[in-house]
Amino acid sequence: YEAKFGNYGTRTFSSVLNQALIDRRELEQEMASALEHGGYELHYQPQCDQNGRVAAFEALLRFTHPTLGVVPPSRLVPIAEESQMIISLGTWVLREACRHNRQWQLEGYPPVRVAVNISSMQFAREDFADSVAKVLEETGLAPEFLELELTESVVVKDFTESTRQLQRLKRLGVSIAIDDFGTGYSSLNYLHRLPIDRLKIDRSFIQVLSAPNSTLPILEAIIAMAKNMELGVVGEGVETDEQRAMLCLKGCDLLQGFLYSRPVSADRAKFLLQAGPLYESMLREDALAVA
């Protein structure tokens, strides 16, 4: 990078990025052209059950700019939303995730769900459910193996319209998860009337479990509430064995985070599907290394 960014001395690549020295419009153009030329990739992060078995993968968008290198989704998505590109990009993500999942099934790997993040602009469109139906048909993936992740703020914005949209999606047979749960402002009264299947507890509640101002009471309340509403619960951002143990003890169904695996390429995801219990096998590998 020093050769390319020689003017900026020894600054790291990410600080160059953060200072937005590269014109945003240039990035936007690069993103649009990448959509035509296959410049995007999906990585997959496992969601494991309490025994460490992969139950699902979350699809996460990856983009490598020719000179900037990896651009994180937190930067890509707002740009794509402002330029309306999020609709075509979102459809690409949906199709690619369904295609991969179907391919793994055809190759004989144990079937799992794939979870796809949906932007508010996609969800707001009248024809969104139709586009999901079309992707399922094109790829041949059965709807039970697709989950859509929506944030709280997206579904509570217009309760009547959201309910209608969620009902259309539920009729297709896909499942719905509420992402980053606990960070929005949704009233529980709203939530329990929506046709949803799962809550994903935001990682901010999980990462301070052992801190002096522990979020444990909040975590317990969320899990208890999910159980009462007969919803599944996923813990996000599980990084330590202590966090894993606490979530399991409190009854969290699924766990996702670096402790199990970072997001990986589609090929590597396939490997994880046949690797056996992820966390237990990690322990075994450690034991072997010591022995």
Please give the residue ranges that form the binding site for ligand C2E (CB under 6 A).
45, 60-61, 72-74, 77, 93, 117, 119, 149, 179-180, 237-239, 257-258, 263
One residue of 179, 194, 196, 247 binding Mg ion per CB under 5 A: 179
Cα 277 off chain centre by = 21
Handedness of CA 50, 54, 59, 60 (dihedral sign): positive
Q: How far is the CB of 26 from Mg ion (least distance, A)?
A: 28
Alpha helices in the chain (DSSP H): 13-18, 24-37, 73-82, 85-106, 120-123, 128-139, 152-156, 159-172, 188-191, 203-207, 216-228, 241-250, 266-273, 278-290
Output 236 or 253, the one with its CB closest to Mg ion: 236
The answer to whether 147 contacts Mg ion (rule: CB under 5 A) is no
CB of 75 to ligand C2E, least distance (A): 9
Q: In terms of CB distance, is 32 or 77 closer to Mg ion?
A: 77
How far is the C-alpha of 235 from the C-alpha of 253, rounded, in Å? 8
Torsion of CA 275, 276, 280, 283, to 10 degrees: -30
63 versus 104: smaller Cβ distance to ligand C2E: 63
Output the CA torsion sign for 246, 248, 253, 255.
Answer: positive
In angstroms, give the least distance from the CB of 222 to ligand C2E. 15
- Choose from ligand C2E, Mg ion, none: what does 73 bind? Cβ within 5-8 Å by kind: ligand C2E
Residues 70-129 that bind Mg ion (CB under 5 A): 117
Rounded to a whole number of angstroms, the minimum distance from the CB of residue 205 to Mg ion is 11
Tokens of 94: 């949906």
Quote the least distance from Cβ 72 to ligand C2E, whole Å.
Answer: 5
